[in-house]
Chains A and B, each alone.
Chain A
């Protein structure tokens, strides 16, 4: 799995968009970019994943740069319940998932 780097923490005002960056400059052509989040005292929860194209679902949007060396997870209207640790993972299917330290997002009222 590609090593990813994320800022250790970020703040976001409630109702605003939260943009969480991730660098994955060593990602291979077959590796997908996955995002999970972990709310306090719970197991991690899948958010979204993509390969080259931007992706959107009911939870978030994923923007992947054309060179695939970085990506941004966007929570369009952050709520207090979005406060969590967000993990960006480069992953090739059939292999294990390696979680880094992630970004601790604090949504402030």
Chain B
């Protein structure tokens, strides 16, 4: 597709369940980012993948959160044993890295996660 695709667009789950959120970046983009945004708040950085380098996981809030990126393309963010405070919009973005002149983030529409 032409843009960053995220699925599902909405996810309702019960406290304690595990969830997986998917991100399909723009083809050819080597960098992929996950952010989350709680209601009325700014963007909180979670994790950053760049090519074959070790991901920057410094933003993951707890060990219940993990993410992987297979084949340098699709990424999955997994939240184990979800808690109500995990409710937020989870945004994925990708960028073409190599020259600063073309490193622009393109965001998906996000996944609205609601933990009951």
Contact = CB atoms under 8 A, between A and B. Distances in A.
Interface of A: 32, 36, 38, 42-46, 49, 51, 85, 87, 91-94, 96-102
A96 B56 contact: yes
Interface in B56-113: 56, 91, 93, 97, 99-100, 103-110
Interface of B: 4, 33, 35, 42-43, 45, 48, 50, 56, 91, 93, 97, 99-100, 103-110
A70 to B, nearest CB: 20
B58 to A, nearest CB: 9
A96 B97 CA distance: 11
Which of B105, B108, B109 has most A Cβ within 10 Å?
Answer: B105
A98 B45 contact: yes
Given A44-B43, A44-B105, A97-B105, 15 more contacts: A36-B105, A42-B109, A43-B4, A43-B91, A43-B107, A44-B91, A44-B107, A46-B105, A91-B103, A93-B100, A94-B50, A96-B45, A96-B48, A101-B42, A102-B42
B42 A46 contact: no
Contacts, number: 49
A32 B56 CA distance: 20
8 contacts: A44-B91, A44-B107, A45-B107, A92-B100, A93-B97, A96-B56, A99-B43, A101-B42
Contacts of B45: 96-99
Contacts of B105: 36, 44, 46, 97
Nearest to A30: B100
Which of A85, A87, A93 has most B Cβ within 10 Å?
Answer: A93
Contacts of A49: 104
Contacts of B4: 43
Enumerate the 9 nearest inter-chain pairs by beta-carbon distance, A residue then B residue, closest first.
Answer: A43-B107, A93-B100, A96-B48, A99-B43, A46-B104, A101-B42, A93-B103, A43-B91, A44-B107
Given A32-B100, A51-B100, A99 B107 contact: no
